[in-house]
Amino acid sequence: MNALDTLLMALQAIARNKLRSFLTTLGIIIGVGSVVAMVHLGQSATRSVTESIASIGSNLLFVMPGTSQRGPGGLRSTAEPFEMDDVIAMRNEISGILVAPSISTSATVVIGNANESIPVTGTSNEYFTVRNHAVEFGRMFSENELIAGDAVCIIGKTLIEEMYLGQDPLGSTLRVGRTACRVIGVLEEKGQSMGQDRDKAIIMPLKSVQRRLVGKLDVQSIFVSALVDGTTQQVQQDIESLLRQRRHIDTPKNDDFYVRDTQDIAEALARTTNTLTILLGAIAAVSLLVGGIGIMNIMLVSVTERTREIGIRLAIGARTHDVLTQFLVESIVLSTIGGLIGLVLGVGGTWLVTQQLDMPFVLSPGIMLLGFSFSVAIGIIFGFFPARKAALLNPIDALRHE
């Protein structure tokens, strides 16, 4: 008997019991679909995190005050904030970087009859490069505006849509807290990043926010961008060394500040999502084993139902190998059909979820091939025992079977 005849016989046997065959493959469908969907969703989440981190800024370092030990009891409290002199020292003593001082607060913004609490950031023009958030319309701050702390601002597009109702805001005046502020620019659209709407923001000169909104000259945080790729680690060490010197800290363990590399944050988050992906994929793979057990059970029932047929085949000259191949092919066909349907459902489900969650759709041929290969392997492994049982039947006993 050739391979084509064996395949046709397997398909005919499966077609005779369509409902039973479908229920048998259901475990494989669910297993493959779950594995493919879980792994692809994990990869999509990893890609989403990576892109969100990249959108924050290129080669970006966050420098922020930490905690310091106070008093003989060793109690820790919030460290002293940075000063503008710290920012100037970084610019002068560390080469190959852009530095943007920053102070953030929330203020009630009033535009006409609309009012809402909006995040407000005070900073310098370097911010737009360091944070990868350019001015799309209008202009950045002039040198005089930065020095004098003028009441001018650059706004995000969410404010145009929700408060200006789509009208051109350039040259208009809005109220930030108690300060009347003239709009000179509009930020390019960024959308959601790390769970925050980056377009719902107002950027003002650092001194303007310090004097008009916060009432102090502290620098809350410092954003530093390394101009040369691959130098963030060295820049981080230089910043730490400089700040220890300026803040009179003798050893790293006494640091009252911290410097965070966004690349390290991205890698840590990626490792976390990869671990969760593996865990979810492993849990979903359990259903593949359940599907394999279902195939073995149905194939054993099939052998029992077709015992007399097997006896006739063996009696008229069929070899043991032919019978074993016939039942093994049936098992493989069932698992293959289930694997193909599972692949389609898994990919389709991944696409639907990523569209709903606004995540990038990542399609990995390797994962799809692995999931399909597992389904075929399940058919071979769990179908071998019933096929072997059929092949080893005694023809005389099989013919007597009712």
Per-residue pLDDT of the chain (402 residues; tens, 9 = 90+): 566 666 777 677 777 777 777 888 888 888 888 888 888 888 888 887 777 776 676 688 999 988 766 555 555 667 788 999 999 999 999 988 999 999 999 999 998 888 899 999 999 999 999 988 889 999 999 999 999 999 999 999 999 988 888 889 999 999 999 999 999 999 998 877 666 788 899 999 999 999 999 988 889 999 998 888 778 889 999 999 999 999 888 888 888 888 988 777 777 777 887 787 788 777 777 777 778 888 888 777 777 766 777 677 767 766 777 777 777 888 888 888 888 999 999 999 999 988 888 788 888 888 888 888 888 888 888 888 777 777 777 666 656 555
Q: Which residues pair with 261 in a beta bridge?
A: 61
Q: Are residues 169 and 235 in the same domain?
A: yes
Residue with tokens 């349907």, as numbered in its chain: 341
- Within-domain flag for 106: yes
Burial 269-286 (b: 16+ CB within 10 A, else e): bbeebeeebeebbeebbe
Q: Are residues 228 and 342 in the same domain?
A: no
What distance in Å separates the CA atoms of residue 347 and residue 335, rounded to the nearest whole number?
Answer: 18
Q: Which residues pair with 333 in a beta bridge?
A: none
pLDDT at 79: 78
Last residue of a domain, one of 235, 255, 275: 255
- Within-domain flag for 197: yes
Q: Provide the domain count of the chain.
A: 2
- Within-domain flag for 262: no
What distance in Å separates the CA atoms of residue 171 and residue 177, rounded to the nearest whole number?
Answer: 19
Last residue of a domain, one of 255, 275, 308: 255
Q: Are residues 39 and 157 in the same domain?
A: no
Last residue of a domain, one of 218, 234, 255: 255
Domain span at residue 222 reads: 81-255
Q: Are residues 225 and 273 in the same domain?
A: no
Q: What are phi and psi of 29, to 5 degrees?
A: -60, -50
- Within-domain flag for 291: yes
- Within-domain flag for 304: yes
Instruction: List, as own/partner pairs, every contact residues 14-22 make where C-beta atoms lie below 8 angstroms and the sequence separation is at least 24, other chains included.
Output: 14/330, 14/333, 14/334, 20/298, 21/334
Q: Are residues 281 and 371 in the same domain?
A: yes
- Within-domain flag for 65: no
Q: Are residues 307 and 357 in the same domain?
A: yes
Q: Are residues 209 and 272 in the same domain?
A: no
Q: Are residues 208 and 152 in the same domain?
A: yes
- Within-domain flag for 59: no
In angstroms, what CA-CA distances link 347 with 29, 59, 210, 274, 368? 12, 34, 51, 19, 9
Q: Are residues 134 and 191 in the same domain?
A: yes
Q: Are residues 291 and 187 in the same domain?
A: no
Q: Are residues 31 and 120 in the same domain?
A: no
- Within-domain flag for 390: yes
Q: Which amino acid is at 364?
A: S
Q: Are residues 206 and 353 in the same domain?
A: no
Q: Is 117 exposed, middle or buried (0-12, 13-18, 19+ CB in 10 A)?
A: exposed
